[in-house]
A and B are shown apart, each in its own frame.
Chain A
Amino acid sequence: MTTSPGPLARVNDFVVKFANVNGSGSASANGLFARSILRMGVPVAARNIFPSNIQGLPTWYEVRIVEAGWRGRRGGVDFMVAMNPQTWDKDVAEIESGGYLFHDSTRPLPPSKFREDVTALGLPLTAICNAQYSDVRQRQLFKNVIYLGALSALFGIDPTEIERLLAEQYRGKEALQDSNRKALALGREHALASFDCPLGLRVERRDRVGNRIFIDGNSAAALGAVYGGATVAAWYPITPSSSLAESFASWCRKFRAEPATGRRRYAIVQAEDELASIGMVIGAAWNGARAFTATSGPGISLMQEFLGLAYFAEIPAVLFDVQRGSPSTGMPTRTQQADLLSCAYASHGDTRHVLLFPEDPRECFELGALAFDLADRLQTPVFVMLDLDIGMQDWLCEPLAWDDHHRMDRGKVMSAQELDAGRDFGRYLDVDGDGIPWRTWPGTHPSKGSYFTRGTTKDRYARYTEEGPAYVDNMQRLLRKFDTARMLLPRPDIADAAQPTSAGVIWFGSTGAAMAESLAELERQGIHLDRMRIRAFPFHDSVAEFIAAHEHLFVVEQNRDAQLKMLLVNECGIDPARLTSVLHFDGTPITERMITREIAERARLFVPGRGYQRTEIRKVS
């Protein structure tokens, strides 16, 4: 073994990882740990890493304490809370040299189970619990709170912040508050008596959180659907999207009860499968309600036929796709950005769809609401592309805000008055030149404006036809509509590097969290990149312009096949050789270290005006 660098010592800048057993009640204690640090004014980036299981399999919770406010994963672990014997060896191996290993020392372990370059901090948690509690369930649950107490002493976390959080969590349940407070104090006392507290890794109070909020993307997107005016939700349970539909239900209970009667200004149906979910959404949207479904990759696969119908019959529909490890059942509880192609070109035949890419929960709220205006305006399905990392993890975000002057844009819906005034109604007639026709809702007028909606070919007046020219006319109009969409969608976020450069980097979605930090690190290393975050598909013209303005670009994404790159090459006519992919797809969220390493390695091989100085680029896995 090389010489130990000595125990790590850093303030407000380290990574703590909790290794637990699923179903042991650790999630609550771990969440309190993260939030108590936020209450001390120090930003955290926290992530649950959990199995597709309810009880028994390993689960981890990673908390990055980061005064600088980065929201991505750094990579590596400085302090391991090793509560799961099943994963002990792997957990111990993961600790950075100089790091710490906190564990239950009730049963002695052989020295071979430890590392010389890692400081072991053992507390007999089981023995402490067994002495204090007789009930088996209490022994388990309070063990979590006891280690939380111990950690608060070790890191110098103010215990009153945890107590306040407990008081908020168990409001009205004084007995529970009290027993949790006692367990917390017990853990603190044991740690203070056993170790030299606080450690070199410690938390110090700052004012770096401000009024930011800690929220997961699924509940933010669901709130976006409430603000977007959605009244019908149809869904089928699937990880990692289920909590989006469930959050919608709880937001609606809060905000959508009719004051006089308590009755609901919304309808939520848990359908029999994803086919029925999207069918209901299409039926409701056809009939003038704002409707959505929430699903993940396998659900998107099942919805393909209906998505073609919605595209071709021009029905507004909103889909939240919370992407997970794929293909097939894949890794249901791991994250990926691998549904781009299956959504962008969903269904058989020539189809194209609108995609939105939120980068964090706040944008899930904003784009979640906007999706309904876009769907109505464009009369087509709109996909909001979350992933598990955004959807199911709590992120520190700017507070949510809403413009009270905003009114729902219901798009081109012809009223009975307009029909009576003699306006020509042809369901698929492009009267405005933007490719978007007018529609009527069922029941509008006794004798005008009714039409037959169908997946078969039709003419401009919605009459069935198999005539080639009528078919081509309609398909060309749909392309014009897609061009209109290009201009209506959120534009990319484009920014220049600190110094002029011919190189650039492109990314979308949750990758942004690690990307922001990586760009700062690369800049520190003298690698300057102009940057573009894609926010929507079809791409705005500025996307192709940005690419054209750079000699060489990196495309960073979280899938194996470089799906964003494929879309860029395909839709913008880009020479693929100009785009170098940085791909991460092992199911964990991409880290700053990975991006920095991969880009730095390649960027050094690149000479402006002459391209790469080595033809063979190592493939990243």
Chain B
Amino acid sequence: MTYLAKPKLHHPGLPKNALGYTRRDYEGAISTLCAGCGHDSISAAIIQAFFELDIAPHRVAKLSGIGCSSKTPTYFLGNSHGFNSVHGRMPSVLTGAALANRDLIYLGVSGDGDSASIGLGQFAHVLRRGVNMVYIVENNGVYGLTKGQFSATADRGSRSKRGAVNNDEPIDLVLLALALGATFVARGFSGDKTQLVPLIKAAVAHRGAAFIDVISPCVAFNNHPGSTKSYDYVREHNDAVNRLDFMPEREPIGVEYPEGGTRDVVLHDGGLLRLRKLDPDYDPSDKVRAMSFLEAHRARGEVVTGLLYLRPDSDDMHAALQTVDTPLNALSDSDLVPGNAALAGVNASLR
């Protein structure tokens, strides 16, 4: 829908968040993706989440790889720095960025080709390092920009638009993320913003590697009968294990919550995560059961969504590396350069 210019005028009555920003301040350039693309819904959810979290847009760094999904950071948080890196390598670039400045919020956006195929190695290692970030995979099971080839998350037996059948086993990034040590693992659906926005907000508040796999149908190449990542298929097979309400610390707690079946989790920033359980058997703190639950439902052809695993006491890469509180990019000459006097000792030890 690129031919429609985005109006620059803001309605004076637009609601503002605690920092005085309107929702428009969290938007980006107009999307160049196909009309109806699931990815645009995810961008909208990201905009909503950051607006509601009262995070200044420029304190977010958004990084991506290559592909349709990786183009989306242009379409949200226009006042944030963005980095569209190389195919499958967003995790390493994000890791380096996070090392340089621990004070920013890092949002990695990737796709199933980017993360499950060419970038599977980097996907694995960024999670096991516990990089403090939100890692979103916009998962549509196909390569959109190269016109509809299967990706590694396409289900076995699913059909491409041209009728080809996928013979390979799919990679379930959620199961993989659990095995690799991600401390926040969730799955959402681009068509379910009510579930997705709180998931993103909770992931931002989480300290450590937070991963969200978002099923996002490709209207051009993977939204036909025979696809297991179409709107219709996911709506029919979606099995949500919980609904979340995320309340930042400063908000009064205790507004309207359904009776029974809730569970509260306090996150690092003091924010409260209230899980409304839809499946009474589901316990997001039990990683082993989460994995078997996922496998059992997958065998039944069901797509489990919701917050699947959370370790509230998680820590991040900077804690493991014992780095100083000051961002490394803010250290000065006097912090970093030992000076000529120190060299005298070095020289003496080398004679």
Report A's interface with B, CB cutoff 8 A.
38, 209, 211-215, 223, 226-227, 229, 231-232, 234, 255-256, 258, 261-269, 271-273, 275-289, 291, 305-306, 309, 399-404, 406-408, 440-447, 450-456, 464
Contact = CB atoms under 8 A, between A and B. Distances in A.
Interface of B: 56-59, 61, 63, 73-74, 78-86, 89, 91-101, 103-104, 121-122, 124-125, 129, 318, 321-325, 328-331, 333, 335-340, 342-343, 346-347, 350-351
Contacts of B85: 279, 282-283, 309, 455
Given A279-B93, A283-B63, A443 B328 contact: no
B324 A289 contact: no
Contacts of A440: 81
B95 A269 contact: yes
Contact of B121 (A231, A272, A281, A287): A272
B57 to A, nearest CB: 7
Name which of B58, B121, B318, B342 has the most chain A CB atoms within 10 A of its CB: B58
A234 B126 CA distance: 13
For the complex of A and B, list the 3 residue pairs with the smallest distance between their C-beta atoms, beginning with the closest.
A283-B96, A279-B92, A289-B100
B50 to A, nearest CB: 13
A443 B58 contact: yes
A289 B93 contact: no
Contacts of B59: 443
B100 A264 contact: no
Contacts of B323: 263-267
11 contacts: A229-B333, A231-B329, A232-B96, A267-B323, A275-B122, A305-B89, A309-B85, A400-B347, A445-B58, A452-B84, A453-B83
A305 B86 contact: yes
B322 A280 contact: no
B86 A309 contact: yes
Given A264-B322, A289-B100, A452-B74, A213 B350 contact: yes
A443 B329 CA distance: 12
A267 B99 contact: yes
A268 B129 CA distance: 12
A403 B324 contact: no
Given A213-B351, A446-B79, A284 B331 contact: no
Contact of B125 (A38, A215, A264, A272): A272
Given A272-B121, A403-B340, A443-B58, A264 B104 contact: no
A276 B100 contact: no
Contacts of A255: 338, 342
Given A231-B100, A453-B84, A267 B331 contact: no
Contacts of A400: 343, 346-347
Nearest to B340: A402
B6 to A, nearest CB: 14
Given A284-B97, A443-B104, A263 B322 contact: yes
Contacts of A262: 322
Given A289-B99, A453-B84, A266 B328 contact: yes
A230 to B, nearest CB: 8
B100 A287 contact: yes
A275 B340 CA distance: 35
Nearest to A289: B100
Contacts of A279: 85-86, 89, 91-93, 95-96, 122
B331 A287 contact: no
Contacts of B322: 262-264
B343 A401 contact: yes
Given A399-B343, A401-B340, A442-B104, A286 B83 contact: yes
Contacts of B325: 263
Contacts of B79: 446-447, 450
Given A261-B324, A263-B324, A272-B121, A287 B97 contact: yes
Contacts of A446: 56-58, 79
B58 A291 contact: no
B84 A280 contact: no
B43 to A, nearest CB: 14
A273 B340 contact: no
Contacts of B321: 264, 267-269
Contacts of B74: 452, 464
A209 B350 CA distance: 12
A444 B331 contact: no
Nearest to B32: A464
B101 A407 contact: no
A264 B324 contact: yes
Contact of A234 (B81, B96, B336): B96
B81 A282 contact: no
Given A38-B351, A264-B321, A276-B125, A281 B103 contact: no
Contact of A271 (B61, B104, B125): B125
Given A272-B122, A400-B343, A288 B101 contact: yes
B336 A256 contact: yes
Contacts of A443: 58-59, 61, 81, 101, 103-104
B350 A214 contact: yes
Contacts of A280: 92-93, 95-96, 99
Nearest to A273: B121
B89 A276 contact: yes
Given A306-B86, A442-B81, A447-B58, A231 B333 contact: no
B335 A265 contact: yes
B347 A211 contact: yes
Contacts of A464: 74
A26 B73 CA distance: 58
A100 B315 CA distance: 63
A454 B86 CA distance: 9
B307 to A, nearest CB: 28
B80 A276 contact: no
Contact of A229 (B84, B324, B336): B336
Contacts of B125: 271-272, 276
Contacts of B129: 269
Contact of A269 (B99, B333, B338, B343): B99
A407 B333 contact: yes
Given A441-B329, A453-B81, A286 B121 contact: no
B322 to A, nearest CB: 5
B81 A283 contact: no
B61 A227 contact: no
Nearest to B77: A450
A446 B77 CA distance: 11
A280 B93 CA distance: 5
B71 to A, nearest CB: 9
Given A279-B91, A286-B100, A403-B340, 16 more contacts: A229-B333, A231-B331, A255-B338, A262-B322, A272-B121, A272-B124, A276-B89, A276-B121, A287-B96, A309-B86, A408-B336, A442-B81, A445-B58, A455-B85, A455-B86, A456-B84
A81 B82 CA distance: 61
A282 B104 contact: no
A283 B100 contact: yes
A504 B347 CA distance: 36
Contact of A455 (B57, B84, B331): B84
A450 B92 contact: no
A447 B198 CA distance: 26
Contacts of B331: 229, 231, 265
A211 B344 CA distance: 11
Given A231-B328, A232-B328, A450-B79, A291 B343 contact: no
